[in-house]
Structure 1
Amino acid sequence: MSRPRLTDVAALAGVSMKTVSNVVNGTGSATPATRARVRAAIDELGYRPNVTARRLATGQTGTISVAVSSVTVPYFAEISNLLDRAARRSGLRAVIEQTHGDRNNELAILAERERGLVDGVIFHPVALTPDDLVDRSPGFALVLLGEGPAPAGVDHVMIDNEAAAREATTHLIERGCRHIAFLGVESHGLTHTTGQRFAGYEQALEMAGQRADPRRRLQIEHYSADEGHRAVADALDQGVTFDGIVCRDDSLATGALHALHSRRVRVPGEVAVTGWDDLIIARNLWPPLTTIGPHKAEIARTAVRLLAERIHGYAGPGRHEIVASQLIPRDSTAR
């Protein structure tokens, strides 16, 4: 069977070859319905752009870098997979790189773009500051993920963490919780993401006339189920009382559930628990975990679209796009 061509995609989708090219390259002004029809035709035919020809014509590599702290963090594993899929649909090859939150590693990711090794970078920085990101070479194609501050000229995709944390905390309050803990306060200082989530938690308590008890700020050293288990178990051993827990992420919530089960604390009867990220495991825990679900597929599509537009010449001001999230109620809060 011959390799599918651009003309085959155009015929199946009922559009012009120029429209297919625009969709593949992330350019042009096709409607969302047209883009969806073209992508469906690409998937059905298994079409892949001729990368060699494009490199000769444009001087581009057809490769982008996706840089996260570690794919051992389940959220980053899931979002990296979705970014890879979105990149392929746009005719790009994604190289997944881990920085381990190290400043030198993060600077090296940016240097790859400046040396022309990749066409652009989708990046969730941990150690870099806005000043590190603003002084890039002209035409630098960069999209930031996450909640850290971004320079005005850099594209940025995020969710509204404070609003989502208020929603999760209010959900517990509406189910009768009056002594709500927050699991995930970093002992070495709050990250931007945690800071926003903790602020939303405190705002919801204040709005309900509840006091934020410092003893219910459960500290962690890192993000893992084991650390969530340790923090909750330690709090119980120290006599800290709570009837609800807002967890910074689903991994910590997994450990929290384990600690509560181990101490024969009924969930949600005695303690209701919410997580964050809607990881695949969340719906398969016992009880299934109520969680904040960021629209991860939309985050990936938006980031790749913005990057592709930069790669193909967009030189306007930075675009800061907020992607929706939603509270997904499950049995861990079903009172």
Structure 2
Amino acid sequence: MVTMSDVAKLSGVSKMTVSNVINGRAGVSDQVRRRVMEAVRQSGYRVNVSARTLRSGRTGVIGLAVPEIDRPYFGRLAAHVIEQAREHGFHVAIEQTGAVAHREIDAIDHSYTLHFDGLILSAVGVDPQDTRLASGDYPIVMLGEQDFGAKFDHVAMPNEEGTKAATAHLIDRGCRRIAIVTGNTLDGVNVVTRRYQGYLAALTERGLAPDPALLFTAEGMSLDSGRDAAHRLVDSGQEVDGVVAVSDTVAQGVLRGLADRGVRVPEDVRLIGYDDISESAYMVPSLSTVAPDHRWMAAKAVELVTARLQDPSRPAREHTAPFELMIRESTR
């Protein structure tokens, strides 16, 4: 059986260096890392995960469960989590839940049975009162809008604050008839309701009466649904000089839909989104948007997993990500 010592001899480094490379720890140069991994491949060395788990009580893997990995926001989040986890010596296993409650519960169960060291779960469908959500010492960090009280560590998006700032920005640009294109789940606590509340709060604070006729839903919050909502907005005959979109993906669809009807952005209507996905800066016009600190969220989630591993009895904590407005051509 090939041992770690054999790999160390073959690559000309210490056994500790081999361990650092295999476990993804920082502090090893790229040149040395490549040399060690080449020695691993040549020797056929395999980590005895079961033995390591028995010795340390850890697998070196944390789970990340998100609704959809092919959405720009979740893809970006996953990349940041992987980057931050690597700095703490963890690998990341990713699972899609489809934002369905039973799959989110399954993700928790799988993280137990597969002996992950912890789980970061973007919780959308599950009810915080679900009895299957047993809190305890196992590190679970919840992402998203649900309120889990003091049961779990929680990293939240600045949904209300960010959308309030986005709406206020349009008002500062002179907009007075501001529509919102959002999802169709306006009940309960979710990203749609929280961002809608931020929109309403900005209007009220600035002395503008919310008009239900300026609410347009985009089912599925996709490019197609954003485009369809923009068609309905223009066809309604409502006077509109600004649009707040629930996400940048929806905003992209809105921009296309307005163009279909001959409405120019920003000359006729100003448009702002939320998420600051990478495509936003390259649209024509480039999209103004709310930019939550995605890297901060990933770092905080991994930090909370690590903290609970070190102190399982510590009280659960809640954190809200900082944000900034990215002002681009669509609102100028």
Report TM bin, short chain: 0.7 to 0.9
Q: Name whichever of 65-74 and 324-333 sits farther off.
A: 65-74
Instruction: Give TM-score, length-normalised by structure 1.
Output: 0.84
Q: Secondary structure at the match of 1:265?
A: coil
**Structure 1 residue 4: deviation in Å?**
7.2
8 Å CA contact 2:187, 2:193 repeated in 1? no
8 Å CA contact 1:51, 1:62 repeated in 2? no
Which consecutive unaligned segments of at least 5 residues does structure 1 have?
A: 11-20, 25-38
8 Å CA contact 2:292, 2:322 repeated in 1? yes
The CA distance in 2 between the partners of 1:268 and 1:238, in whole Å, is: 20
Cα RMSD after superposing both structures: 2.7
Aligned with 1:315 (options 297, 313, 316): 313
Residue by residue, what CA displacement relative to the aligned partner does 1:30-51 show, whole Å, maximum 9, x if unpaired? xxxxxxxxx5x35756499x88
The CA distance in 1 between the partners of 2:56 and 2:297, in whole Å, is: 27
Residue by residue, what CA displacement relative to the aligned partner does 1:57-105 show, whole Å, maximum 9, x if unpaired? 2122211110011112221111012112211221111111001112221
Tell me: CA distance 1:154–1:223, structure 2 relative to 1, closer, same or farther (3 Å): same
Aligned with 1:223 (options 218, 221, 224): 221
The CA distance in 2 between the partners of 1:55 and 1:229, in whole Å, is: 51
Cross-structure match for 1:238: 236
Cross-structure match for 1:156: 154
- Choose 1 or 2 for highest CA Rg: 2
1:1-335 alignment, distance < 5 Å: 1-2=11-12, 39=26, 41-42=27-28, 46=33, 52=49, 54-132=52-130, 135-136=133-134, 138-186=136-184, 189=187, 191-334=189-332
Q: Secondary structure at the match of 1:100?
A: coil
**Structure 1 residue 212: deviation in Å?**
0.9
8 Å CA contact 1:134, 1:153 repeated in 2? no
Tell me: CA distance 1:42–1:166, structure 2 relative to 1, closer, same or farther (3 Å): farther
8 Å CA contact 2:143, 2:154 repeated in 1? yes
The CA distance in 1 between the partners of 2:14 and 2:263, in whole Å, is: 59
The CA distance in 2 between the partners of 1:210 and 1:73, in whole Å, is: 34
Q: Secondary structure at the match of 1:64?
A: strand
8 Å CA contact 1:113, 1:140 repeated in 2? no
The CA distance in 2 between the partners of 1:4 and 1:248, in whole Å, is: 53
The CA distance in 1 between the partners of 2:114 and 2:57, in whole Å, is: 10
Residue by residue, what CA displacement relative to the aligned partner does 1:148-177 show, whole Å, maximum 9, x if unpaired? 112303101113221111110010000010
The CA distance in 2 between the partners of 1:122 and 1:144, in whole Å, is: 6
The CA distance in 1 between the partners of 2:175 and 2:329, in whole Å, is: 15
Cross-structure match for 1:31: none
How many residues get paired? 308
The CA distance in 2 between the partners of 1:246 and 1:219, in whole Å, is: 12
Which consecutive unaligned segments of at least 5 residues does structure 2 have?
A: 1-10, 37-46
Amino acid at match of 1:108: D
8 Å CA contact 2:288, 2:329 repeated in 1? yes
What is the identity percentage for the equivalent residue pairs of Structure 1 and Structure 2?
A: 31
Instruction: Give TM-score, length-normalised by structure 2.
Output: 0.85
